């Protein structure tokens, strides 16, 4: 079997298949695994630039989170976010990773046949099953069969810009993260030093889709806009170093099914359910379960 995409959906799928004895290889066009479970190194430390955290209220995913915690890879972070404007909002526990969220994807990839720097341009013909673990618009580039292509076209995605804001020192009051409502520039701001536990003077801001769409051709031009908006929101006068990352497919509109398939080609990811890290993991796992059930003789599947 072939899995295309080494984000958490693809890796969870591949791990389940491999654990059952199936032969599976993972192709990833990037230089590292993780997808939107992404961390980038800035100034000697990693900052989370994709997913801000993960929630684990599915029993099986919660068990995985606890295994990560027992090994020091993940930790419960907070159940409370500030709200601007408004009062702090409590919700489910958000989990973070001391080594950056991408470290969790690297853990899932351990021992798998993952081939990096390999862009797949067409659905591989040398496999009994192919899993496209990616946003629908990206899956369309490999020309999937009609049933899968139709499901991919029905997906609706919003772009987001992520700004890593590195300050000379911590000059803001204590907070974990903040939801920003009805703002033209900002959607969320997270204290990355608090999230990672090292107290580094680093904030990570996520833009509104509108700002991201306005800067599709030149994302770096949004750096000053996002820095100024963050400073005004939190009362920070200092000028940060800013690094921008553009996510063209960041926020999917939720759908009900756990995946899409024509029987041989499968489409998985966080668009299949409420858009969360946990949803992507569950979608990949559901594809693996369906594939293993359909094959009967798991160890002979290519």
Q: What is the mean pLDDT of the chain?
A: 95
pTM above 0.85, yes or no: yes
d(CA 288, CA 297): 14
Can you say how many angstroms the Cα of residue 12 is from the centroid of all Cα atoms in its chain?
Answer: 13
For the residues 104-114, what does the mean pLDDT come to? 98
- Whether the predicted pLDDT of 302 surpasses 50: no
The percent of the chain in helix, strand and coil, each rounded to the nearest 5, is 30, 30, 40
Question: Which tokens belong to 94?
Answer: 């958000």
Residue pair 130/265 in contact (Cβ under 8 Å)? The answer is: yes
* pLDDT > 70 fraction of the chain, expressed in percent and rounded: 98
At residue 2, what are phi and psi to the nearest 5 degrees? -120, 130
Residue 113: strand, helix, or coil: strand
pLDDT at 296: 67
Query: Domains of the chain, with CATH numbers?
Result: 2-51+101-155+253-300 (3.50.50.60), 158-252 (3.90.660.10)
- Whether the predicted pLDDT of 297 surpasses 60: no
Note the pLDDT tens digit of each residue in 111-124. Answer: 999 999 999 999 99
Note the pLDDT tens digit of each residue in 61-99. Answer: 999 999 999 999 999 999 999 999 999 999 999 999 999
């Amino acid at each position: 079997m072939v899995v295309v995409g080494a984000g958490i959906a693809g890796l969870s799928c591949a791990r389940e298949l491999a654990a059952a004895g199936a032969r599976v290889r993972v192709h990833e066009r990037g230089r590292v695994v993780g997808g939107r479970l992404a961390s980038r190194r800035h100034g000697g430390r990693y900052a989370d630039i994709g997913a801000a955290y993960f929630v684990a209220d599915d029993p099986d995913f919660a068990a995985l989170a606890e295994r990560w915690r027992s090994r020091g890879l993940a930790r419960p972070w907070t159940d409370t976010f500030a709200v601007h404007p408004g009062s702090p909002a409590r919700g489910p526990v958000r989990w973070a990773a001391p080594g950056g969220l991408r470290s969790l994807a690297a853990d899932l990839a351990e021992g798998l046949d993952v081939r990096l720097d390999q862009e797949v341009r067409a659905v591989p013909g040398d496999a009994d099953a192919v899993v496209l673990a990616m946003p629908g618009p990206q899956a369309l580039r490999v020309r999937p069969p009609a049933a899968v292509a139709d499901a991919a076209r029905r997906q609706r995605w919003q772009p987001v810009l992520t700004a890593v804001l590195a300050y000379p020192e911590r000059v803001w009051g204590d907070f974990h993260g903040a939801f920003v409502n009805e703002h033209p520039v900002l959607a969320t701001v997270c204290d990355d030093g608090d999230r990672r536990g090292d107290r580094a003077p680093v904030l990570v801001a996520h833009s509104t889709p509108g700002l991201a769409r306005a800067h599709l051709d030149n994302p770096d031009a949004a750096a000053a806009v996002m820095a100024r908006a963050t400073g005004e929101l939190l009362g920070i006068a200092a000028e940060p170093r800013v690094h921008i990352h553009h996510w063209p497919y960041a926020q999917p509109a939720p759908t009900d099914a756990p995946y899409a398939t024509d029987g041989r080609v499968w489409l998985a990811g966080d668009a299949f359910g409420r858009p969360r890290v946990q949803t992507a993991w569950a979608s990949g796992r559901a594809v693996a379960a369906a594939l293993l059930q359909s094959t009967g003789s798991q160890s002979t599947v290519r």
